[in-house]
Structure 1
Amino acid sequence: MKHALIAVFFGLTACASTSGEPRPLQGSLTYGGKSIHSPYRPGTVVNHTFLGAFGYRVFETYVVQPDGTLKLTSQSTGPDFLWR
């Protein structure tokens, strides 16, 4: 029984960890299927930061594609304040 629970746990964590590409959140540059054309050269990295849900700051990284559109490559969250 113990081994079965461990197998189920690892099976569920494996499914959760393979999420693929990050999805745009409300406030992202490409949220809702928006297509933004950048004046920068292809391959240029564009950083974007905005206030997300529950007061967390969302940090996004986009890469300019050959057609000039932005592709979301990474996304992370952190607190919007610093404890001192």
Structure 2
Amino acid sequence: MMKYAAVAILLLAAACSTTTEDQPIPGSLTYGGKVIHSPYKPGTVVKHTFLGDFGLRQFERYVVQPDGTLKLASRIESEDFLWD
């Protein structure tokens, strides 16, 4: 039973499109070669959300590097609203 639940969760997660290349896009904190220095300790995950093209919400996660800069770790794209 737990195996089926795990498969269902994976299928739901796959319903949101993700980027595999994890390159900054317009609206990303590091887009255009910007260097952001974080006051947080290395390894800390920093979340960033913004509205991207076609009204799709972008959920990004950055990891603070040893030098204090942010490295884009992942981005998930999802609709900004739910239809009823």
TM-score by length of 1: 0.74
Change beyond 3 A, Cα 1:20–1:57: closer
How many positions carry a matched residue from both structures?
A: 66
Counterpart secondary structure, 1:63: strand
| In structure 2, C-alpha distance between the alignment counterparts of 1:48 and 1:20, rounded to whole Å | 18
The structure with the largest alpha-carbon Rg is 1
Greater relative contact order (Cα 8 A, min sep 6): structure 1 or 2?
Answer: 2
Unaligned runs of at least 5 residues, structure 1: 1-18
Q: How far 1:21 sits from its partner (Å)?
A: 3.8
Which position in structure 1 is the counterpart of 2:73?
73
Q: How far 1:46 sits from its partner (Å)?
A: 0.3
C-alpha RMSD over aligned residues:
1.4
Change beyond 3 A, Cα 1:50–1:20: closer
Which segments of structure 1 move beyond 6 Å, counting only runs of 4 or more? none
Q: How far 1:20 sits from its partner (Å)?
A: 5.7
Which position in structure 2 is the counterpart of 1:63?
63
Output aligned runs, 1:1-84, within 5 Å: 21-84=21-84
| In structure 2, C-alpha distance between the alignment counterparts of 1:56 and 1:33, rounded to whole Å | 23
Work out the percentage of aligned pairs sharing the same amino acid. Answer: 70
Counterpart secondary structure, 2:63: strand
